[in-house]
Structure 1
């Protein structure tokens, strides 16, 4: 706390990391206050120029009031409890002295600029400079902890049109108090990252890629889903389900339709990928669809302390507890720790099972296509049929040539003459002649002498 300051003391001081001189009060003052609050404590003198000359200010009481109002209304979170402003006499002139302590809710920022470099300042030497985005994230993490969903969102201009529609559809309110209770708004009345995830401004996306065959070589289709996570989940599920083909079988007279993938298994794998991923990573949630499987890949891996075995036993430790709670309230999930087991339960009556892979930084659930072996068998039958056709065609081609040579030499021949020449049955020759007509190798005309019979000529 500063009391009376001697003229000599001021002359010996220079602007540095903890001291800032201002000739007069301007709106730039809030930038200096923010910088000191975000870095280390500092003192601002209004009425002293950059060279340390005491200029003084007129109407000091009025200016002091403007200073207090500016700090209170222009800076978020509230920094007033860490600021002390008063009028001091230096060289018999009025100088306003503002003592700013390092705040506990960093990063502080200029309200109309937001949590971005243009609104967040730090002290470097004798200057106040914009903080980098990485510096801003680090301050948020130091203040709010490691939980991504609890951290303050860098974007405070959020809209919730889709979320409001979903809450309304479930007869749930989605007003200010509900946002605070659910964790979308923190104690500082700022939006959290949880709010960002549910907003139209969500910067995380979900990508679905459809491949031809069972390798990642040829794309058949791809789609990226954006916006609120609630919207992404809904639209991605609809898209995947459109590709989930139905195969019909019969038990007696009863027709039985069955999808390539159990619908509930798709649903649970999709929700698991979205709810439990690590959102501090910037990559997209990935879904790859092949002819024999669907892969759901989410970022983050298994939470420390858990294993694949414990997950299979139903042990639940959500990385995003508040996000999971919202999905639970919206009846999108039934209970924590049941999703993976439900996926496997849906495959119990089949001779193939889902697989789970966990790597550092990634988690993958793979659903097998329950009809893929039948598809392979059908392809084998089709290939066998085609090979037989090719084989038969190869055998028949020399006969075509023999017949063509014969009808050419004779300048036309009847069916009976062709039968006698190649020594084949009537039925076989009729078939051969029909094939050659369809292939446009020969033409058929009435015999000019015997109008009741036909002759075949090379075309």
Structure 2
């Protein structure tokens, strides 16, 4: 019998730890055979204690490789040139990527076969093997990170009187049948890689920031902190109806809450971008990555038809009573504006879903900032820049731009210098 290394045959002169790597490489690629007791040149050396080595191989496969690969391997003692050697037959596994239990789903623990060598798999190759084995549903596929903690999620579940232990991980879909954390587990974990970004702008455009913040950690934590942050911008006006005091916020609380929850639950997490929240003086825009689920139309969702992209995540939110019923979110956002003269807007593209919540108390001023500046200067005869900043509620840079434009157009003149600079109307210009 002639022995020669090929893409599906590996030769080993003795049993050692490197055999694990070869078993993994064959299981993760196209299968193959490992002959132990034959050197690299095909010379039969034989094994001094083949039976003991056979038992060691069995323990190695059982204890060092995950997931369980025993059904895809077999090891037997054969005779070659009147010497005992061992042949390990490995078929391509159905739960790839197989890995060293001590290393996890990292390149250092996952190997593939290239020609006659076995080498670490790239992260992209590992992801592709997971998709091939688990399907392309993001929340159900095994997570590359397995060292996860759930302190925040645990507290939330316990506050709701719900158990949250290892027994519940599989029930919720956070772990698969082999005990691996799924991407849903990653989303709920303290190590979640996605985020929510909030930005507050001066005025009604994105020209100038007033504040910005990014929220990390479990998506449950991000949701709570983002909602609190947005509500700090939600001014409340108090009025009286008879003897009762009535508080009217800029934005209905339910509309903010529901829009944010919908963005978290229904976004496409296979993309790495963040959920974006833009807060303007006249509106809030919440941008979620991922358009409608395949098969649904905009008309369908307005009628209350529900098909979640992340079913297990939606179920977790339902158990936590963050979602009260499926398919009613958009309708209830619209209903929360029923008593106002403005309506929320929904803009949907192939890869994004945008909810626009109008400020219920915003009064649009038809006068431009240039007209306001001319009016103030005309009323006061001469005005310093700082007075304009204070009266208009604009920044130094914004007022400077307006003044320079009016100077260039000949509407005003500048007098004095440095701190004594003032602006006056050109006679007959306004």
Q: So what's the TM-score if we normalise by structure 1? A: 0.80
Tell me the residue number matched to 2:400: none
Partners in 2 of 1:88 and 1:135 — Cα distance? 35
Map of 1:441-452 to 2, 5 A cutoff? none
1:357 and 2:347 correspond: yes
Q: Secondary structure at the match of 2:46?
A: coil
**Structure 2 partner of 1:233:** 223
CA distance in 1, matches of 2:368, 2:92: 74
Q: 1:253 to 1:330 in 2, by over 3 A?
A: closer
CA distance in 2, matches of 1:380, 1:218: 17
Matched residue, 2:391: none
Within 5 Å, give how 1:35-54 maps onto structure 2: 35-54=25-44
1:320-359 equivalences under 5 Å are: 320-359=310-349
Matching of residue 245 in structure 1 with residue 235 in structure 2? yes
Which one of 248, 264, 283 corresponds to residue 258 of structure 1?
248
Query: CA RMSD for the aligned pairs?
Result: 2.1
For 1:50-449, list aligned pairs within 5 A: 50-251=40-241, 255-373=245-363, 376=365, 390-394=377-381
Report Cα offsets for 1:182-234 as digits up to 9, x if no partner.
11111122111111110011111111111111111111111111111111111
Query: Structure 1 residues 389, 30: CA separation in 2 closer, same or farther (over 3 Å shift)?
Result: closer
> Secondary structure at 2:184's aligned position in 1?
helix
1:357 to 1:55, Cα distance in 2 relative to 1, 3 A: same
Rounded Cα–Cα distance in structure 2 between residues aligned with 1:392 and 1:249: 33
The verdict on how the C-alpha distance between 1:215 and 1:98 changes in structure 2, with shifts beyond 3 A counting, is same
Following the alignment from structure 1 to structure 2, what is the Cα–Cα distance between the partners of residues 265 and 178? Answer: 31
Q: 1:149 to 1:16 in 2, by over 3 A?
A: same
Structure with the bigger percentage of helix: 1
Tell me, in whole angstroms, the C-alpha distance in 2 between the residues paired with 1:325 and 1:202: 18
Q: CA deviation at 1:26?
A: 1.2
How big is each residue's C-alpha offset from its partner over 1:7-39, in whole Å with a ceiling of 9 and x where there is no partner? Answer: xx22xx321210111111111111111110111
Report how far residue 248 of structure 1 moved. 3.0
Q: How many residues align?
A: 383
Whole-angstrom distance in 2 between the partners of 1:264 and 1:356: 16
Using the alignment, how far apart are the partners of 1:306 and 1:388 within structure 2?
52
CA distance in 2, matches of 1:40, 1:389: 79
> Aligned partners of 2:116 and 2:179: how far apart in 1?
32
Distance 1:155 1:232 in 2: 20
Query: What is the SS of the residue equivalent to 1:243?
Result: coil
**What is the TM-score with the length of structure 2 in the denominator?**
0.85
Q: Following the alignment from structure 1 to structure 2, what is the Cα–Cα distance between the partners of residues 354 and 194?
A: 30
Cα distance, 1:256 vs. partner? Answer: 3.0
Q: CA deviation at 1:392?
A: 4.7
Q: How far 1:153 moved relative to its partner? A: 0.7
- Runs (4 or more) in structure 1 with deviation over 6 Å come to none
Cα drift, residue 361 of structure 1: 1.2
